[in-house]
Amino acid sequence: MRQCSEHIDTIAAAIARAHAKLPNPAQCSSATGFDVVRRTLGREEIAIIQATRTEQVTGQMCVRTILAHVSGEWISSDFPVAVNPKTPDQIEALLTGARRYALFSMIGFFVEDDSIGLSDANAASRPSASAAKTQKATSQEEVTNPPPRGSDADQVLAFPKEPSRRRSKSHLAFVRAQGCLVCQRSPVDAHHLKFAQASTLGRKVSDEFTVPLCRSHHQALHRHGNERAWWTNLKLEPLQVAKELWATSPAHSQAGEASPFSETVTSPEAQRQ
């Protein structure tokens, strides 16, 4: 899934102008900061579009944020959310905080109050002004004896654990030994299905979500831009093929390999696959 338009020079310049107009983050709370950022970007003709979506494979919920400029240029980012609170009010507060954090992180604006933008999910438990002295008197005890991990508050506020991203050179070699999924020709590239996992900065999806594509069809897919639509037009199910290849991969039987599924740093050429 593409994260930006083909060109971003105009929107980048508009965001830079907005940076110069933003106040000191230390003077804002997460709520007021969100409104300030929204108004400042609006003056630079940048619209904020936010919506939730669920990953097809992992079931992970994400908040997708798109900054769209009047020129037609845009950039986007996905922020994973662990939605496991018990009440609708907690879910609403959690998503509100996630939207704030996602926007702040895209433009580099971080407020000191509610620094991760998710504490509103536990707003009901905040003490009133009359209880401030009591809270201050017991704060030392709370630090000395912190609540056990796994409490309800931890479940609401904790960042979700990202699904593991396996790396296996032997599996990629196995995929490259197959014929092109579209035309059955060889040689092929091991193409990573970008929509199989939530996008993260500088990290490809797991090697288990790879399918063989000849260079011609590989380039055609990247030129198309919308990967899901490209596969749909061909009436192919690449995720199912990737799962079948992973299940039969010789990487699982290579006992002599020290870490067949280790995370590795990929080269710029491999990042484009």
Q: What is the pLDDT along the chain (273 residues), one digit of tens a residue?
A: 678 888 999 999 999 998 888 887 777 777 788 888 889 999 999 999 998 888 777 777 888 899 999 999 999 988 888 766 557 777 777 888 888 888 888 888 876 544 344 444 344 444 444 555 555 555 455 445 555 555 444 444 444 555 677 888 899 999 999 999 999 999 999 999 988 887 665 577 888 899 999 999 999 988 887 888 999 999 999 999 999 999 999 887 764 444 455 544 444 444 445
CB 237 within 8 A of CB 183: no
> Distance (Å, rounded) from C-alpha 132 to C-alpha 153?
20
Centre a 10 Å sphere on the Cβ of residue 206 and count the other Cβ atoms it contains. Answer: 23
Which residues have CB under 8 Å from 220's CB, separation 6+? 230
> Distance (Å, rounded) from C-alpha 33 to C-alpha 40?
10
The whole-model pTM stands at 0.41
> Distance (Å, rounded) from C-alpha 147 to C-alpha 247?
42
Which residues have CB under 8 Å from 272's CB, separation 6+? 222
CB 3 within 8 A of CB 77: yes
